[in-house]
Structure 1
Amino acid sequence: MTFSLILMFMGGLFGICMSRKHLLLTLFYLEYLILSLYFSMFLFLLWYCCEIYFVLIFLVFSVCEGALGLGVLVSMIRGHGNDLLSSLSILVW
């Protein structure tokens, strides 16, 4: 089980490294990393018989992070026309 969690996390990190120019794919891989962390935290707290309310708080924060990322993506697409990071210039901001 631990090996599969480590494999999920490393796969998400590898995906972020490979899709560094496309913002939507980067957000998808970031949500995948959050999901793997959520699953590992849930199993850790379940294994040690601790309070599982922290998992609910973590889930709320991860949903807020996803909504904020999508909001920034929509704002960037309206301003620039695409979500490729290579077409952005730092001098424009």
Structure 2
Amino acid sequence: MEMMVGISVFLYFMGLLSFCLNRKHMLLMLLSLEFIVVSLFLGLYVYLCVYSWEFYFLMVFLTISVCEGALGLSVLVLLMRTYGNDYMESFNLLW
């Protein structure tokens, strides 16, 4: 189980690194956030398996993460319709 926890932590930090390096495109940022959520899901699953607890919280976590993904995609579609691309440099939020 220690190996699975180590893999989950490694995946989490690789997701954070990917998020920091891909800050120019909105779609790549959203994909990095989803990767971080999947690594957190893996870590939570391992944690709940080790202590033999209920997996009900995993369903709540997945529901909230799906809502986060849908909200991110709707913001991406809105930005694509407004600005025409997903480059973060072209968004002028100070109008």
Q: Which bin holds the TM-score, normalised by the shorter protein?
A: over 0.9
Unaligned runs of 5+ in 2: none
Structure 1 residue 61 corresponds to structure 2 residue 60: no
Compute the TM-score of the two structures, normalised by the length of structure 1: 0.95
Aligned runs of 1:76-87 on 2, under 5 Å? 76-87=79-90
1:61 aligned partner, one-letter code: I
Aligned runs of 1:15-34 on 2, under 5 Å? 15-34=18-37
How far is 1:3 from its partner?
A: 1.8
**How big is each residue's C-alpha offset from its partner over 1:9-56, in whole Å with a ceiling of 9 and x where there is no partner?**
110000000001111000000000000001110110111011110000
What is the number of equivalent residue pairs in this alignment? 92
Identity of aligned residues (%): 42
Match of 2:7 among 4, 7, 11: 4
How far is 1:4 from its partner?
A: 1.2
**What secondary structure sits across from 1:89 in the alignment?**
coil
Residue 50 (structure 2) aligns with: 47
Unaligned runs of 5+ in 1: none
Compute the TM-score of the two structures, normalised by the length of structure 2: 0.93
RMSD: 0.7
Runs of 4+ more than 3 Å apart: none
